[in-house]
Structure 1
């Protein structure tokens, strides 16, 4: 007849302790997985947001295939974002955008009528003193506007971080003109309205150039 061998006292409570530890570890792992899951997978409600569908260069005029919709949680959705793809189509990017980047109002210009759409912003046409500088500009580029040195005036910065909204046809340049001092095509610059007025007035009296950022 077989007899059960006595279980040592130090082993009697081990299965229960192991079970408790296993449950605690499972709960910890579940919490970590939930924490790092996307908001949509966690069931957190999101808001439809227009993002770039691919990498886009500065100056791109947005088409339907350039954007897509994703749901973003409100705590990470930037201000000025939109959920209407039609509201960004036909508008111009003032800077490069990575694939999946939300497209906010401050990143867009109206391509047909250059300007930011901001009532406190204006677009100023200027003709740069050096045609060669204008040839380096592209829509979306940021520049500093400088009034050149002239009799009785020292060079001065009229505006910082102006956005190039558009550059006139390079073919309008006088083919007989060459080198520094030859007038280039009109360049449209988007600026705060108060500064835009100053730039427009100064451009009538002094030569204007820009420095690239």
Structure 2
């Protein structure tokens, strides 16, 4: 080693050590933004929530889920609870897209279940059989007896809107038009969970 370089050996070693420490402590460069921008829940959201800009945030996903939203629909109401960070798709909202996912010829029928605690066990996506509740068996003279079996079988639950009522609970089911008419004409209803196929 040349004498003039030997003289600067210690300062150079100190300088290299300082540079090494600085490089370790420097924040790493942010990852490049990849993926498609989609909307996700900014917080846990209950069923029935009408979303506002404060309820969502934009995230990037690669690939994005089918039906992922890039902008918030007007007056969009959730058909089911959503967790914070969960991407929002068209089938998360009440509306024609949600109903169409269950096949043609169906309507969305609101059904009030007499037993609120029983209805609380049901979640959107479940399938239920709807039957006349025991108090619904009372008939007036001259009226026909209610059906003894299920009024509707394996009806998909579209939504379970929150309610402040102390008795009864509302469910939104995908049923045929004749089934919707039968359900509307039956004053007291109960349900059972339909076994999976």
Gaps of 5+ in 2: 1-29, 138-144
Distance 2:164 2:43 in 1: 28
Distance 1:115 1:188 in 2: 18
Confirm or deny: 8 A CA contact 1:143 1:164 kept in the other structure.
no
**Partner of residue 57 from structure 1, selected from 36, 43, 46:** 46
Which residue of 2 is the match for residue 133 of structure 1?
116
Distance 1:212 1:93 in 2: 22
Question: For the aligned residues, what is the CA RMSD?
Answer: 4.0
**Partner of residue 148 from structure 2, selected from 148, 151, 154:** 154
Does residue 82 (structure 1) correspond to residue 77 (structure 2)? The answer is no
1:61 Cα deviation from its structure 2 partner: 2.1
Confirm or deny: 8 A CA contact 2:111 2:173 kept in the other structure.
no
Gaps of 5+ in 1: 1-39, 174-183
1:146 Cα deviation from its structure 2 partner: 1.3
Call closer, same or farther: CA 1:56–1:166 in 2, change over 3 Å. Answer: closer
- 1:58 is paired with a residue whose SS is coil
Confirm or deny: 8 A CA contact 1:59 1:138 kept in the other structure.
no
1:138 Cα deviation from its structure 2 partner: 10
1:62 Cα deviation from its structure 2 partner: 1.4
**Partner of residue 84 from structure 2, selected from 92, 99, 109:** 99
Confirm or deny: 8 A CA contact 1:127 1:208 kept in the other structure.
yes
Confirm or deny: 8 A CA contact 2:109 2:180 kept in the other structure.
yes
Distance 1:118 1:79 in 2: 15
1:126 Cα deviation from its structure 2 partner: 3.4
Which residue of 2 is the match for residue 200 of structure 1?
180
- Using CA pairs under 8 Å that are at least 6 residues apart, name the structure with larger relative contact order, 1 or 2: 2
Deviating 4+ runs (over 3 angstroms):
114-121, 125-128, 134-143, 149-154, 164-171
Distance 2:77 2:119 in 1: 18
The number of equivalent residue pairs is 149
TM-score by length of 2: 0.56
1:101 Cα deviation from its structure 2 partner: 1.0
Does residue 209 (structure 1) correspond to residue 185 (structure 2)? The answer is no
